[in-house]
Every structure is written in C-alpha cells, then in structure tokens.
Amino acid sequence: MSDGAGSLPTPCQIIAQYADLAGCGHYRIIEPASALNQAGLAQVATVAHWREAWVETEPASSIVVQVATSPLQLAQLSVLQTLHGVKLVQELDDLTSALPVDKLAAFGLPADISELTRRMTELADRVVVSTEVIADALHGKHRDIRVVPNRIDLGRWSGLTPMRVPGSKPRVGWAGGRTHHDDLLMLQAVVEALADEIDWVFFGSCPDSMLPWVQEFHHAVSFIEYPAKLARLGLDLAIAPLESTAFNEAKSNLKLLEYGILGYPVLCSDLLPYQCKLPVTRVANRPDAWVRTLRALLADRDALRRQGAMLRDAVVKDWALAPHVGDWLSAWVVAA
C-alpha cells in the first residue's frame, strides 16, 4: 500500500481507493490522504484497486471509494459494512450522470458508470463531493452529503517560477486532458483569428483541426511532472474555456488554482465554476468577446503580470490544502 502512516498512534484508520493517478486521483484522494498522515490526524492507506482482503489485514474505520468499478465490489463493500461495521464514504469529483454516453470512454469510464455510481450512493454512509452543484444534484438521494472543495498542495508546487521564453509575440496557453476536446473546439475561430498576433501553446491535448494555428503543442506528462512542465511553458496568459453544459457547470475551479499558483494571469469562461472570488478575467463564450478581451489584456503585459501575482497570492491565502486538512478528516470519518 502507498502513503503508509508512521509509528505515532492515530485515532482512526482509513482505506482510500483512488480512481487514477491523474488529477482526479491526486486532488481528491492521494494528496488529502498524505496530508492527514503527515499531520498525524489519521492513518490513511491509499490503494489503486479494490480487494476485500484489505480489511482482513488492515482494519479500517472508513473505506473511501472514488469510483465503484463493478457490482462485485459493491457486494463486498456491503458485506464489510454489515458484518464488520465499516463506514463507507463515496467520493465524487464530477457529475458523471450528466455526461452523454458517447463521452464516457474519453473519461475512462465504463458504460454503466451512472448505475454503479447510483448504487454506491445508496450504499454509502456518506457522500463527499467537490462542489455545491454536485451536492444540489444529489439532494434527496442521500441523507449525508458533505462538500469539500479541491485545494492545492503547496509543497507539490513550491519553488516553481514560470520561465520567460524569448519572442516578440505574447504566449497564450492552455493545459489539460483530452476530456476538454469540446471546450477547446469552442475557441477554434479565436485561435485562427489571432494566430498572427499570438503564439498559441497547448499542453496535454489539442484538437487536430486547431494544430495548424498552434505554435507549440506539448504532449501530456505524468501528474508528478505536471507542475514543473506547466511552469516551463512560460505563458504570458493562461486560458480556461469551458463549454456551457450540465457536466461543466458542476466542475470545480481547479484549473484556475493550477494556473494561479504559478502566477499565470487567467482569462476564463464566465461560467459558474469560475465565478469564484479569484482575480481572473471572465468572458462570455462568444468568439468575438474572446478576441476582443484577449487583445485588450495582451496590450499591457505589465498589468497581466500584476494580475498573475495577485492570483498567486489569493490561491496561497485561501486555497491551500494544509490549513484545511481537518475538513477531510471530518468528511472521511463517519461517527458510529
């Protein structure tokens, strides 16, 4: 098992199953678990795959499940809950029920994920979610729903300063995975219109139809390498387009936090996830509005750098993980 705790006695033991080793698994399971272990508040073992034998060798007061993978797993969890008194906590970072069936594969989710998630919600003693929108969507479907926002582990991002890349054009970039394909296509006309004025930089994913107008495309890296790679892009401005869909409206402001901790100023879609108290520039999802706002922002790069510094200060002050580690303990430990 990973993230084993030290020798100090702890008040409770938790097993937490992460869905992946990308952002979702790290932000919602691995990093909070590590923070709890380091603070001595709990003994949390993080694991990738479900095995009933865990509880036989590693007694736990709670089992946290990020993604239910099969009916067999649900049946085994039910037995542990009934016969051994183990408390089950469901952890949800996305509103997967709002994903169209044809999009599930891109997210690495099985076709029956909605049914598995529904059954896990019914089984769980508590459901922990990342946003109020997800909590509202589950209203009436569970008696105990807790909202614990995504936060930044400052240790993972410490010492990173974006490099300055020589060139006359401003560097405007985006970072993320292939699940944002439709969000990026929304800006295709913008990328084309400003290709002579901007060096476009895409990291992790870029629709093929946009590549002819992109100056740099960087392939995805592991999550461990991600912060340093993002810093090396040397952006003058980071963008966060988000298409208006039920799934996206339930998302968190995590992309703003990742950009912000590096001091990148941000231009983002004016949608609910990004309408938080962070000093970013929001814009309507219309190509003409994006073009106009980009030109206005890039006309004063000194002002952009000041905006980036303000954003970094805000992320450090209000969105760091360590000061809020107790929120995770309260969410993951269910009273008998």
Query: Six-digit token pair at 214?
Result: 């992109």
Structure confidence by residue, pLDDT tens digits, 91-104: 999 998 887 777 77
Number of domains the chain contains: 2
Q: What is the pLDDT of residues 211-268, one digit of tens each?
A: 999 999 999 999 999 999 999 999 999 999 999 999 999 999 999 999 999 999 999 9
pTM: 0.92
* Measured distance CA(216)–CA(198) in Å, rounded: 11
Q: Coil, strand or helix: which one is 78? A: helix
CA distances from 203 to 60, 110, 150, 212, 249 (A): 40, 26, 22, 15, 23
Give the model confidence (pLDDT) of 2-24 as tens digits: 344 333 344 688 999 998 888 88
Asked if residue 4 belongs to a domain, the reply is no
Spatial CA neighbour of 200 closest among 215, 221, 211, 185? 215
User: How far is Cα 309 from Cα 260, in angstroms, rounded to an integer?
Assistant: 8
Which three-class secondary structure state does DSSP give residue 215? coil
In a domain, 28, yes or no: yes
Please tell me whether residues 222 and 189 are part of one structural domain. yes
Residue with tokens 């003994």: 43
In terms of phi and psi (left: phi > 0; alpha: psi -120 to 50; beta: otherwise), the region of 140 is: left
Residues 173 and 189 in one domain: yes
Select from 205, 184, 187 the least CA-distant residue to 22.
Answer: 205
Give the residue numbers spanning the domain of 184: 155-318
Output the domain CATH number for residue 201.
3.40.50.2000
Share of the chain above pLDDT 90, in %: 72
* Whole-number Å distance between alpha carbons of 33 and 83: 26
Q: What is the pLDDT of residue 11?
A: 66
Q: Report, as an integer, the average pLDDT of 105-125.
A: 85
Task: Check: CB of residue 274 under 8 Å from CB of residue 252.
Answer: no
How far is it, in rounded angstroms, from Cα 97 to Cα 104? 10
Residue 283 lies in a domain: yes
Find the distance separating the first CA and the last CA of the chain, reported in whole Å.
26
Residue 122 corresponds to which amino acid? E
What is residue 1's predicted lDDT score, i.e. its pLDDT? 36
Q: Within a domain: residue 7?
A: no
Tell me 170's DSSP state: P
Q: Are residues 177 and 258 in the same domain?
A: yes
CA distances from 65 to 49, 87, 125, 190, 247 (A): 10, 11, 11, 40, 21
pLDDT band at 135 (very low <50, low <70, confident <90, very high): very high
